Amino acid sequence: MKRIVPAIVVVLLILLGLNSLFVVGEGENALLLQFGRIVRTDYRPGLHFKVPLLQQVMLFDNRILSLDAPPERYFTSEKKSVNVDFYAKWRIADNAAFYRATGGDQLQAEQRLTPVIKDALRFEFNARTLEELISGGRKDITERVRQQTDASARKNLGIAIVDVRIKRIDLPDEVSESVYKRMKAERLQLANELRYTGQEAAAKIQADADRQALVLKADANRDAAKIRGDGDAQAAAIYAQSYGQDPEFFAFYRSMAAYAKSFKDGKGVLVLKPDSEFLRYFSDPAAPKR
C-alpha cells in the first residue's frame, strides 16, 4: 500500500505536467482561457505552458477557409429574378472576437457569415439591370460585396473576408426565354443591316462595272469605226489608183468578183438577157463596154 500511493502521486504529477503543456502548430492560433475568461491570445507556433486544470486552450485554424453557400435567388432593378451561386474565402482575424461571437465553432461562424454576404449581394443585384449583369461587371459586384462584408465581419465576428466570387448566374426559364428572344431579334436586325449594306455595295459595284463596260464598248466601237473608215478609204484609194492605171483590167476584176459571189454556192439562178452587160466576159471579153 505504501508503494502504491507514491506511484499514484507520480502518475498524477506526470499527468499534471503533460496537461500543463500544449503545442501550437503551423497554421494555427491559440486562445488561453481561465474559467471561461480569455487570458492570452498572442501565441506563436511551438511548445507552450499553461496552468493545469485551471486553464484551457482552444486552437483555431489560421488558414484561409472556404464558405460554399447554396444558390440563392435575387431580383434585379427590373424585378427580374436570377439564381446566383457564389463562394467566399475567409480567415479568423481576431481570436478573442471570434471566440466571443461563435464560441470557437467554425460551423456557427459560417451560419452567421452566410446571411451577411447574401444581404450584400442582394443589395448589389437590386441596384443593377439584367443587361448589366449579363454583359459583365461581376468583378465590381464581388469587390464591393467583399469590402462591405469584411468590415461587418471583422467587427461582429472577428473574421476577415479574403475574397467573394460568383460562380454562376442562372436565369429562370421564363427569363431565359425572353432574353433569348431579345438576343435573337438583335442578331436578326444586325444580320439584316449587314445584308442590306452588302446588297447596296453590290449594286454600286455592278453599276460601276456596267458603266465601265459601256465606256469600253463605246471606245472600242469608235476605234473600230475609225479603223474601218481608214481601211475603206485606203481601199477606195487603191481601187481608184488601179482603175486609173488599167480601166479594162479593173472592170474585168470586178466582173470576176461578181461572178464568184453570185455563183458561190452553185445553186444560184440568174435570169438575164444574153447581151446583158453582166455576161459580157462570158460571150466576148474583147467586146467594148456599152
The amino acid sitting at 26 is E
Which residue blocks in 72-172 are alpha helix, DSSP H? 95-102, 106-126, 130-135, 138-157
List b or e across 254-288, with b for residues whose CB sees 16 or more CB atoms inside 10 angstroms.
ebeeeeeeeeeeeeeeeeeeeeeeeebbeeeeeee
Taking residue 143's Cβ as centre, other Cβ atoms within 10 Å add up to 12
Give the H or E element holding residue 236: helix 173-245
* Residue 145 to residue 90: CA distance in whole angstroms: 13
Angle between helices 106-126 and 95-102 in degrees, nearest 10: 90
Cell of 82: 436570377
Reading the chain (290 residues) residue by residue, the pLDDT tens digits are 566 756 565 555 555 555 567 777 787 778 777 877 777 777 787 777 777 777 787 788 888 899 988 888 888 888 888 888 889 999 988 888 888 888 888 889 999 999 999 999 999 888 888 777 777 667 788 888 999 999 989 989 999 999 998 888 887 666 666 667 777 888 888 888 888 888 888 888 998 898 898 888 988 888 888 898 888 888 777 777 766 676 766 667 777 777 667 666 666 666 666 666 666 666 655 555 55
Cβ pair 86, 69 in contact under 8 A: yes
